[in-house]
């Protein structure tokens, strides 16, 4: 039986993927801040909540294994001044650190041939010219504590954008480390970084200012549809949700060695991430530093 662990399935295109998982007959363990009969409590801004979610998934699995682990939740804020209860910058903690901890805790629960799909963003790559501040580094310590960064962005908006794009670079690097991990390779597990393009109308922008939230929401309505005709990186929630589901269910076959799936004009293409996203030294340093921040061995 197909069994999936999922974050970010309560809204946006993640909710569309969840519907597709249900229609396929998959068993889904979905985490959400607002728990329900169908979701397990999960607050990605609290590492203790991540640990509790992972423990609950392991208990419910029993002797069975996960077929896929989908790490899809994400946020962007208008600055980088907010801190989690663990003392880390909120965007980095929610987008990267919590997901890193969750996958580390659930790695033993993945079955042979399983898939890990981590939603990233093309904004991490300067070549995409996405209009956001691009990442200067992928230092876990500086992203967790941006006030220690000697080259901290001058404006709150730029700082918030950097926190977001750098956290998405961290996702790409985490996938790179996973695909080189001896245990992952031994069990023929594949890790995929999924770039859905820009998908307006999701809950991603809930932490932004009111004008930016309004624009984000408006462009997610049919009024924003004409833009997708001209901009290949713009995708509908339906297209992004369908693509994420295909990757998680194994319906999209990835070419040998490929691990970065980008959605362009509603179609999945396999391409390369940014130059920084292909840096093995950065990937190893991020893996080890993230482990230290969440209290795990390398």
Query: pLDDT, tens digit, for every residue of 138-190?
Result: 999 999 999 999 999 989 999 999 999 999 999 999 999 999 999 999 999 99
Q: Regarding predicted confidence, which is higher, 223 or 23? A: 23
Residue 72 phi, psi dihedral angles, 5° rounding: -115, -20
* pLDDT (0 to 100) of residue 218: 66
Percent residues over pLDDT 90 in the chain: 79
Residues sharing a CB contact under 8 Å with residue 225, sequence separation 6 or more, in sequence order:
236
pTM of the model: 0.94
Q: What is the mean pLDDT of residues 280-292?
A: 98
Q: Which residue, 157, 5, 7, is CA-closest to 94? A: 7
Tally of CB atoms within 10 A around 179: 18
Query: pLDDT, tens digit, for every residue of 18-50?
Result: 999 999 999 999 999 876 768 999 999 999 999
CA distance 180 to 63: 27
Query: pLDDT, tens digit, for every residue of 77-128?
Result: 999 999 999 999 999 999 999 999 999 999 999 999 999 999 999 999 999 9
Q: Which residue, 40, 13, 10, 30, is CA-closest to 220? A: 13
* pLDDT (0 to 100) of residue 234: 82
The structure tokens listed for 273 are 């991430």
User: Residues 125, 52: contact at Cβ < 8 Å?
Assistant: no
* pLDDT (0 to 100) of residue 214: 67
Residue 137's pLDDT band, with cuts at 50, 70 and 90, is very high
Q: Which residue, 32, 26, 50, 1, is CA-closest to 290? A: 50
Structure-token match 């997901």, residue found: 99
Distance of CA 157 to the CA centre of its chain: 21
Query: Which residues sit opposite 70 in a β-bridge?
Result: 6, 117
Could you tell me how many residues make up the chain? Answer: 298
Q: Regarding predicted confidence, which is higher, 268 or 206? A: 268
User: Residues 96, 177: contact at Cβ < 8 Å?
Assistant: no
Q: Is the pLDDT of residue 199 over 90?
A: no
Domains of the chain plus CATH, in order, are: 3-294 (3.40.50.720)
Residue 216's pLDDT band, with cuts at 50, 70 and 90, is low
Residue 220 phi, psi dihedral angles, 5° rounding: -85, -5
Residue 230's pLDDT band, with cuts at 50, 70 and 90, is confident
* pLDDT (0 to 100) of residue 166: 98
CA distance 202 to 99: 19
* pLDDT (0 to 100) of residue 197: 92
Mean pLDDT, the chain, rounded, equals 93
Instruction: Name the strand (E) or helix (H) holding 270.
Output: strand 267-270
Percent residues over pLDDT 70 in the chain: 97
């Amino acid at each position: 039986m197909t069994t999936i662990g999922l974050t970010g399935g309560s809204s946006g295109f993640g909710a569309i993927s969840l519907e597709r998982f249900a229609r396929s007959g998959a068993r889904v363990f979905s985490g959400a801040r607002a728990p329900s009969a169908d979701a397990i409590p999960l607050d990605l801004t609290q590492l203790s909540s991540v640990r509790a979610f992972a423990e609950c998934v392991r208990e419910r699995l029993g002797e069975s294994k996960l077929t896929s682990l989908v790490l899809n939740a994400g946020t962007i804020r208008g600055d980088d001044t907010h801190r989690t209860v663990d003392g880390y910058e909120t965007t980095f903690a929610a987008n990267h650190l919590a997901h890193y901890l969750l996958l580390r805790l659930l790695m033993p629960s993945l079955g042979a041939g399983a898939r890990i799909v981590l939603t990233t963003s093309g904004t991490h790559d300067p070549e995409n010219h996405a209009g956001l501040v691009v990442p200067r580094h992928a230092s876990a310590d500086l992203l967790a504590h941006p006030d220690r960064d000697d080259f901290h962005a001058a404006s709150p908006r730029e700082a918030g954008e950097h926190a977001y794009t750098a956290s998405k670079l961290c996702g790409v690097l985490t996938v790179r480390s996973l695909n080189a991990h001896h245990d992952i390779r031994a069990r023929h597990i594949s890790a995929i970084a999924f770039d859905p393009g820009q998908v307006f109308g999701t809950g991603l922008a809930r932490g932004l200012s009111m004008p930016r939230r309004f624009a984000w929401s408006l462009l997610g309505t049919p009024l924003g549809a004409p833009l997708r005709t001209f901009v290949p990186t713009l995708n509908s929630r339906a297209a992004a949700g369908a693509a994420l589901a295909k990757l998680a269910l194994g319906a999209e076959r990835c070419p040998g060695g490929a691990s970065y799936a980008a959605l362009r004009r509603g179609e999945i293409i396999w391409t390369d991430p940014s130059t920084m996203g292909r840096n093995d030294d950065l990937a190893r340093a991020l893996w080890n530093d993230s482990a230290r921040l969440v209290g795990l061995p390398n």
